[in-house]
């Protein structure tokens, strides 16, 4: 496939490595500043740079959006309206109304669109879900996940700036909610949130307690101001599954009353290749939506994060 990338920050490089690693090409990179975009293309062997989103139309098979969250909707909508298939970084947007607008644009032109929630495509989760289906740890009673690090306080940066929809929930908390969602197969019926807010009013540290249909709980944490770790754990009535670095997992271990197992699935490149292959598969089959990360999934995840933000009082200019 021929890709165009919108944005040329840190994750664009990760994506490019995976795409090239499986034989795809990156043909155009779009930035907001001509010189920075051109410098990036020169140093990363990309043939063309542009400051015009619509330069992708007709010249690539799909676009990957890798700008801060606050720019996802305004980049995706014109591309989708011009029938360019889009893989857009997580969180899909800043709030539910933006996500709905993006999906409407995709539907109106029958163009493929997917949130780049790469965790859902990782082979480790096929194994973990099969362990759960087989009842290897009994009934799940708790999902525990943390994703947090101590980033320098830089109020203008993507992580901390409310104008760029900064904060831990949208950046990394979404992965902890995704793990619980994978395990319980849906969203919680109740959620309760506590947060430490930054001076600008974004969630620097967030703690969540959620209750899922059937009674299972999730205890989730995310932070950009505290090294709370990167662990994922699923506790059942008869055992425990541990998933180190759960959002980019290459390994899971199961310890139950009757057995111990380890499953290992090293990434072929860096883990992004699985979602890229899913885009290729969908486009090859004429699909406009992936069932791995469906439109409904993205809308309900965003609605849940809106609900959590309203509990802790985090408001963005886009709300
Ligand atoms: N899937 C993952 O594992 C993963 C990991 C990290 C991030 N992400 C997602 O990817 C997106 C980008 O993250 P990143 O870490 O790559 O960000 P980053 O390193 O800060 O790069 C952001 C890019 O967007 C451009 N940009 C456009 N409008 C901007 C604005 N108003 N303010 C600042 N930059 C702007 C920047 O261009 P300039 O050079 O012109 O500033 C830069 O090229 C985020 O939505 C994030 O959630 C995903």
Residues 238, 256: Cα–Cα separation, whole Å: 6
Distance 9 CA to ligand 1 centre (A): 5
Tell me if 31 sits within 8 A of 52, measured CB to CB. Answer: no
Residues 149, 205: Cα–Cα separation, whole Å: 10
Which of 39, 65, 122, 158 should be mutated for ligand 1, with most atoms under 8 A from CB? 158
Which of 4, 5, 7 should be mutated for ligand 1, with most atoms under 8 A from CB? 7
Look at residue 110 in the predicted model and tell me its pLDDT: 98
Which is the closest atom of ligand 1 to the Cα of 37?
A: 39
Distance 164 CA to ligand 1 centre (A): 9
Dihedral sign for Cα 286, 290, 291, 296, please: negative
Look at residue 243 in the predicted model and tell me its pLDDT: 98
Residues 174, 15: Cα–Cα separation, whole Å: 19
Which is the closest atom of ligand 1 to the Cα of 72?
A: 45
Q: How confident is the model at residue 168 (pLDDT cuts 50, 70, 90)?
A: very high
Which is the closest atom of ligand 1 to the Cα of 163?
A: 31
Look at residue 287 in the predicted model and tell me its pLDDT: 98
Is 67 close to ligand 1, i.e. is its CB under 6 Å away? yes
Provide the percentage of residues in the chain whose pLDDT is more than 90.
99
Look at residue 29 in the predicted model and tell me its pLDDT: 98
Single out the residue of 176, 182, 96 nearest to residue 140, CA to CA: 182
Domains and CATH numbers, the chain: 2-118 (3.40.50.720), 123-264 (3.30.360.10)
Look at residue 258 in the predicted model and tell me its pLDDT: 86
Name which residue sits closest to atom 18 of ligand 1, judged by CA.
9
Is 32 close to ligand 1, i.e. is its CB under 6 Å away? yes
Tokens of 222: 């995310």
Give Cα separations from 276 to 267, 273, 284 (angstroms). Answer: 13, 5, 12
Distance 11 CA to ligand 1 centre (A): 7
Single out the residue of 157, 185, 142, 187 nearest to residue 305, CA to CA: 187
Dihedral sign for Cα 193, 70, 13, 35, please: negative
pLDDT (tens digit, 9 = 90+) per residue, 192-226?
A: 999 999 999 999 999 999 999 999 999 999 999 99
Look at residue 316 in the predicted model and tell me its pLDDT: 98
- What is the pLDDT averaged over residues 288-299? 98
Phi and psi angles of residue 45, each rounded to the nearest 5 degrees, phi first: 60, 40
Look at residue 257 in the predicted model and tell me its pLDDT: 82
Single out the residue of 224, 117, 102 nearest to residue 167, CA to CA: 224
Distance 136 CA to ligand 1 centre (A): 40
Distance 263 CA to ligand 1 centre (A): 33
As a whole number, the mean pLDDT across the chain is 98
Residues 207, 205: Cα–Cα separation, whole Å: 7
pLDDT (tens digit, 9 = 90+) per residue, 110-159?
A: 999 999 999 999 999 999 999 999 999 999 999 999 999 999 999 999 99
The model's pTM: 0.98
Give Cα separations from 203 to 90, 178, 239, 271 (angstroms). Answer: 17, 18, 33, 28
Single out the residue of 217, 238, 210, 208 nearest to residue 141, CA to CA: 217
Is 121 close to ligand 1, i.e. is its CB under 6 Å away? no
């Amino acid at each position: 496939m021929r890709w165009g990338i919108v944005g040329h920050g840190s994750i664009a490089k990760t994506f490019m490595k995976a795409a090239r690693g499986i034989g795809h090409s990156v043909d155009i990179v779009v930035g907001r500043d001509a010189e920075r975009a051109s410098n990036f293309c020169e140093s990363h062997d990309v043939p063309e740079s542009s400051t015009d989103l619509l330069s992708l139309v007709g010249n690539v098979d799909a676009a990957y959006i890798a700008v801060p969250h606050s720019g996802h909707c305004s980049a995706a909508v014109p591309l989708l309206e011009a029938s360019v298939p889009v893989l857009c970084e997580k969180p899909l947007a800043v709030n539910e109304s933006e996500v709905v607008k993006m999906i409407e644009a995709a539907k109106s032109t029958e163009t493929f669109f997917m949130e780049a929630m790469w965790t859902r495509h990782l082979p480790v989760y096929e194994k973990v879900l099969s362990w759960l289906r087989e009842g290897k740890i009994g009934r799940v009673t708790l999902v525990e996940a943390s994703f947090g690090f101590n980033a320098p306080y830089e109020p203008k940066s993507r992580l901390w700036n409310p104008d760029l929809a900064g904060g831990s929930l949208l950046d990394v908390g979404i992965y902890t909610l995704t793990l619980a969602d994978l395990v319980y197969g849906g969203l919680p019926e109740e959620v309760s949130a506590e947060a430490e807010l930054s001076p600008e009013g974004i969630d620097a540290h967030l703690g969540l307690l959620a209750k899922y249909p059937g009674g299972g709980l999730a205890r989730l944490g995310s932070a950009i101001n505290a090294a709370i770790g990167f662990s994922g754990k699923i506790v059942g009535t008869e055992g425990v599954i541990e998933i180190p670095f759960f959002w980019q997992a290459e390994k899971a271990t199961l310890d139950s009353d009757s057995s111990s197992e380890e499953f290992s699935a090293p990434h072929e490149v860096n883990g992004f290749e699985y979602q890229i292959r899913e885009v290729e598969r969908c486009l090859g089959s004429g699909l406009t939506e992936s069932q791995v990360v469906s439109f409904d999934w993205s809308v309900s995840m965003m609605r849940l994060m809106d609900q959590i933000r309203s509990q802790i009082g985090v408001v963005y200019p886009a709300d």
